[in-house]
Amino acid sequence: MSAVHERVLAALERREPDRVPTFDVMEEYANIYEILGRRPFPTGFLFTNRWTSRIVDKTAGLLNRSQIFFAEMDRFSYDRTEAAVKMGYDAAWVMHVPIWKFQDSKVAVDIYGRQYDVIVDGRGNLATPMYKKGLIASPQDWYGWDKRDLFRLPERANRAFRRIQKDLGDRIFIMPGFLFGLFENTWQPMGFERFAVALRKEKTFVRRVIRFYRDHFCLMLEAWADAGVPGAVYTDDMAYRSGPMLPPALMEELYGDAFRHITETAHALGLKIVVHSCGNVMPLLGWFADCGFDGVHALEPTAGVDLAKVKQLVGDRLCLIGNVDITHILVDATREEVFEAVRKSIAAAGHGGGYMVAPTNSHHTMSVERLRWMLEAVERYGRYPLDLSVPRNPD
């Protein structure tokens, strides 16, 4: 086993590695290509240029059928893993999300029934589309929704991750992920207001949707395990800044069995599995551990997550991953601020192992320079036995 794999596994098993591992969540073309020193074809301009956008408007159906964008996703996942290796990360959450189809140059629809605005990042790259609304207004809509592409996802993911794992898997601990988790896939295609009412009036239908996506997620786990990767990320935003979107007891009632089924399947396949959720997840942490997840990612300080408290609450049951702020620290902070943020996170969660330093999320205004500072800071403060009394001035 490579030193990198041993380091990440130790953290995931709440053992003390040689140093605090680093976990990459990069999802934006601009940063990936800056790191790789490449100038990609600016696909985004096709969608914004006055003339080419008209061509996209007229030929969207043809482009979707040609699967050109799905092939682009394979390349993206490979490149973002290569960029993570080049940066020197220990682990990477590698998204492979061939789920979007373009209605025209402005609007995309995913294979689950959500509508999005197409987003271009200002540097000519397509960015993650912005969720606009759900298209599933009734159980009849859901039953009638064409799900064929959903069942093509596992094969597509298997093919993409076989190549990534073969070429890069010994240098980084690859943890595939895809969109979306069970909670988001239950509410987003119908919209949250409709979902709130459905929880009162159509609970049986909601349960059927959850069961469907539970089984689908297990197919994805099998595809990833078959590709040889060592872990997976279960991606599902379940909280806002104010806390969980649903009461924890209702989350357990609706999703508990499904989550346990997913983690048991992952473990039976030899995969470590980490849950990602944005927002203030403090009231859900114990439940995540009960459901069998090995770790939890995001732990957003700006959502009120106190990492030291998290360590106290579930540090003996979950590997903690993240906590480096992406609203200021990794966007426009000074080198000293970045070092101090990393030092504080390691001080809060690093003792005894079971912590990986990572940004809480990814967006296109994050700075590669500050990500490098974050990694440097881990080298400075993250070696075991921890010595956090190192002078604050990083230079």
Partner 1 sequence: MGDMIARITDATAGLEMERIPSLLQEALQAGVQPFEVLGALSAGMVKVGDLFSEGKYYLVDLVLAGQIMKEALEILEPRLAVESLGGKGTVVLGTVKGDVHDIGKNLVANMLRGCGFRVIDLGVDVPPEKIVEALKTSGARALGLSVLLTPMVQSVADTVSALKAAGLRDRVKIAIGGACTTPELGRRMGVDAVGRDPIEAVRIFESFLAE
Contacts with partner 1 by CB under 8 A lie at 117, 130-132, 192-193, 195-197, 199-200, 240-247, 250, 278-279, 302-303, 326-328, 331, 363-365
**Least Å from the CB of residue 5 to partner 1:** 33
Nearer Cβ to partner 1 (71/130) = 130
Q: Which of 238, 115, 223, 235 is nearest to 179 (CA)?
A: 235
**Least Å from the CB of residue 228 to partner 1:** 35
**Least Å from the CB of residue 238 to partner 1:** 10
Q: Which of 84, 94, 93 is nearest to 171 (CA)?
A: 84
Nearer Cβ to partner 1 (68/197) = 197
Nearer Cβ to partner 1 (117/379) = 117
Cα–Cα distance, 112 to 124 (Å, whole number): 27
Nearer Cβ to partner 1 (200/392) = 200
Asked if residues 130 and 117 have their Cβ atoms less than 8 Å apart, the reply is yes
Nearer Cβ to partner 1 (227/278) = 278
Nearer Cβ to partner 1 (250/268) = 250
Cα–Cα distance, 293 to 295 (Å, whole number): 6
Q: Across-strand partners of 131?
A: 116
Nearer Cβ to partner 1 (130/388) = 130
Chain mean position to CA 144? 29
**Least Å from the CB of residue 115 to partner 1:** 10
Q: What is the dihedral of CA 60, 62, 67, 72, to 10 degrees?
A: -50
Asked if residues 323 and 20 have their Cβ atoms less than 8 Å apart, the reply is no
**Least Å from the CB of residue 363 to partner 1:** 6
Asked if residues 182 and 236 have their Cβ atoms less than 8 Å apart, the reply is yes
CA angle 357, 326, 174 (to 5 degrees): 45
Could you identify the residue written with the tokens 């995309």?
Answer: 108
CA angle 383, 387, 392 (to 5 degrees): 110
Q: Which of 346, 291, 279, 348 is nearest to 317 (CA)?
A: 291
**Least Å from the CB of residue 351 to partner 1:** 28
**Least Å from the CB of residue 195 to partner 1:** 8
**Least Å from the CB of residue 84 to partner 1:** 21
Nearer Cβ to partner 1 (84/303) = 303
Nearer Cβ to partner 1 (66/242) = 242
Cα–Cα distance, 290 to 278 (Å, whole number): 19
**Least Å from the CB of residue 45 to partner 1:** 18
Query: Sign of torsion, CA 41 372 7 352?
Result: negative
Asked if residues 97 and 178 have their Cβ atoms less than 8 Å apart, the reply is yes
Q: How far, CA to CA in Å, does 117 sit from each of 95, 103, 106, 204, 352?
A: 20, 10, 6, 31, 44
**Least Å from the CB of residue 184 to partner 1:** 12
Nearer Cβ to partner 1 (144/247) = 247
In sequence order, what are the residues at sequence separation of 6 or more whose Cβ sits closer than 8 angstroms to the Cβ of residue 62? none
R_g of the chain computed on alpha carbons:
20
In sequence order, what are the residues at sequence separation of 6 or more whose Cβ sits closer than 8 angstroms to the Cβ of residue 49? none
**Least Å from the CB of residue 230 to partner 1:** 31
Could you identify the residue written with the tokens 């089924």?
Answer: 261
Nearer Cβ to partner 1 (247/270) = 247
